[in-house]
A and B are shown apart, each in its own frame.
Chain A
Amino acid sequence: MHNASVITKFLVTAALILLVITTNSVLALLAYFALILLYVTFSKLPLIRILRWALYPAFFATFFALSQIQYSLILPVITVFKAVDAALIMLLFINTTPYPQIFSILSRVSKTLGNIAFLTYRFFFIFIEQADKRFTTLKVRGGLAGGLKRTIRNISHFIGSLFITFIDISQDTYYAMRVRGYNGIISCRPGGWMRVNIHDFTPVSMFLCFLIIAIFYWLHGGSGVFP
């Protein structure tokens, strides 16, 4: 999956998500789920970590599914599986494709959008490291203990101090980029990863498997064979 072209992975991801959200069968969604896990494993991605990430959308899907539970037990399951399947497909795409390649697609639409997305992604990891260190310090020094008012005040000061650090980092980055010739365009030229190649068979085969399940569901779903 890693070596497949970005354009194929992007199109296949979009098609798979469309298939998932238009499917209303627990069995079909379960089959998609098993297939995605197979491809995650096949791509040598950390399965447990990927599943842990998928818990987040599962939680919010459950939040919505709770409002459906009084009418049916199947509909909430479908809701949760749709969310998890779609998230897993996205995670598979993201984890097998370097971000600059994804942002280069956005840059083709708008340079400003592509640049800001790329810089946001870069800043995020710099900032999260800073935030992590300071948050640990805050916890160790008892910043989250001592009542709600004090906790909120400490968290606010923590975010405020981070905010000022972020401003400094972003300004330094801007000046460094200007010195290196930044004029509003971060060049990300299409390389081999943009061209269709033999490795595209993997995402295409995944799409075909999904399509077979979907066709089977469409043909037999109404007759109750595929609930």
Chain B
Amino acid sequence: MHIHIPDGVLPIWLWVLGYALAALFLLFAVIKVGKDTRKAVWTAAVAAMMLVAMSIPLGVPYHINLTALAGIILGPWWSLIACFVVNGILASFGHGGVTIVGLNTLVTWFEALAGFYLYRVFKKVVIKDKEKTPVAAGVSTWIALTLSAFLVIGLVAASGIESIPFHGGKNINLNTFTILTLTFALPGAVVEAVITAFILAYIRKVRPELFG
């Protein structure tokens, strides 16, 4: 998931830190990836695919992200660039705050990273049967998205929003926010995990050379 918290809710130090960290990692990523033009075009295609997936409504204003899948396909550094571009374009459409593009980049990259490494571990250690790699992708996606939901809640908690005094010392209730977030995010993680597994199964059936 990515943070749908609007502009002006998170404290300035947090989103500035988000931007600073994202910029630092992006700088490293840009140096690391070099000038691989083919991979750059491929990354743009995957980023566009993520944008399209985010535009497909699933009955309620909820969408899949395909960030874990992007991580599996692109690897750690290219997926960071894809996450940044996707979040930047989304923010420009009013989907997610502009000020939290940095934090959203980090959160979605975390999903991509977790997806990438978990998939590698599951594929090599747990599920060695090549036919069952879609299951590895599904489980990796589910774990990655669940972890990222807790990361988002952790970020909100770390922001100290709960203790922001308002109108005579009244506070925002973090517990309610946590319950609402998990109510949407956890079933969503299962749906996206199943979809990711099906996508990989489909690709393996139609174009097996793509994922080996």
Contact = CB atoms under 8 A, between A and B. Distances in A.
A21 B99 contact: yes
B42 A170 contact: yes
Interface in A70-84: 70-72, 74-75, 78-80, 82-83
Interface string B1-31: 0001111110010000000000000110010
B95 interface: yes
A70 B170 CA distance: 10
A160 B177 contact: no
A188 interface: no
Interface residues of A, number: 74
A207 interface: no
Interface stretch (A176-184, A197-205, A212-220): A176-184
Contacts of A68: 172-173
Contact of A124 (B51, B81, B98): B51
Nearest to B47: A120
Nearest to B91: A90
B199 A163 contact: yes
Q: From B41, B55, B200, name the one whose CB has the most chain A CB atoms within 10 angstroms.
A: B41
Nearest to A182: B37
A108 interface: no
Interface of B: 4-9, 12, 26-27, 30, 33, 35, 37-38, 40-45, 47-49, 51-53, 55-56, 58, 61, 66, 81-82, 84-86, 88-89, 91-99, 166-167, 170-174, 176-177, 180, 191, 194-195, 197-203, 206-207, 210
Nearest to B198: A156
A136 B198 CA distance: 20
B87 to A, nearest CB: 11
A159 B81 CA distance: 22
A44 interface: no
Nearest to A62: B6
B202 A124 contact: no
B94 to A, nearest CB: 3
Contact of B52 (A74, A87, A128, A153): A128
B7 A83 contact: yes
A176 to B, nearest CB: 10
Contacts of B191: 152
B206 A164 contact: yes
